Structure 1
Amino acid sequence: MGCMDRRCADLESSLKHLGKAELKEFKVKLNKYKPQGGFQPVLWSELESADALDIVRVLRSHFLEPYALQVAADIMALINKKDLDSTLRQAHEAPSQGAQRRALYLEVLASLVGRALA
């Protein structure tokens, strides 16, 4: 099953662009990665036989989504995949569709409340 939102799709697409050796190197670096903010490192047993889709699932289950993208971008930089690092960093900075919808909802709600109080 693929990703439904843009950030997840960018992550999945970036991992699918890696060759077999690069994917293995990504998994090794991810296993050795020291996450910040109290997140736990990813165990090798979760990565050993993982394909690109499995890695997306592992990243999203271990880390909150924005941080999962940052971790993946950091790993891409470590394995010298600067183009994919850049793609993931841009996805990390872009607001998700859900965030955009919430912002629009709050804007409309504030407008309605303002009119009701006027």
Structure 2
Amino acid sequence: MSFFESEIVRNEASQISDLQKEIINMIPKIPILPREERIEYFDKMINLIERQKIFYNRLSLSDDPNARELKNQFKQAAIMLGMNAQHLNMNEIYDDFIQSMSELRQQTLDGII
């Protein structure tokens, strides 16, 4: 069975897609959202990034050529966003994103932003 035929993979990809759509719909409203909804936004972002990290690690463990291709596309996207190609570690990138979202969430809780 190919990587993308797995029910677990298909379900996770669907959940990631649904979460991305929710987040995209929230983005234009962030400046006017009440604090509780901004915190919810950051919670969703953290959830999304954690799911993406798990999905990426599943890709990394797969021998499926299509999975390898998608993994390479993720890396290329990171490089296009300005990440250093020589020292590209996707797990560190995901961890940094989670840390940034957690800090923004805390600043929102503290009333700083």
Q: Tell which structure's C-alpha radius of gyration is larger.
A: 1
Q: Which has the higher contact order (CA 8 A, sep 6+)?
A: 2
TM category (shorter chain) comes to 0.3 to 0.5
Q: Normalization by structure 2: what TM-score?
A: 0.33
Q: Normalization by structure 1: what TM-score?
A: 0.32
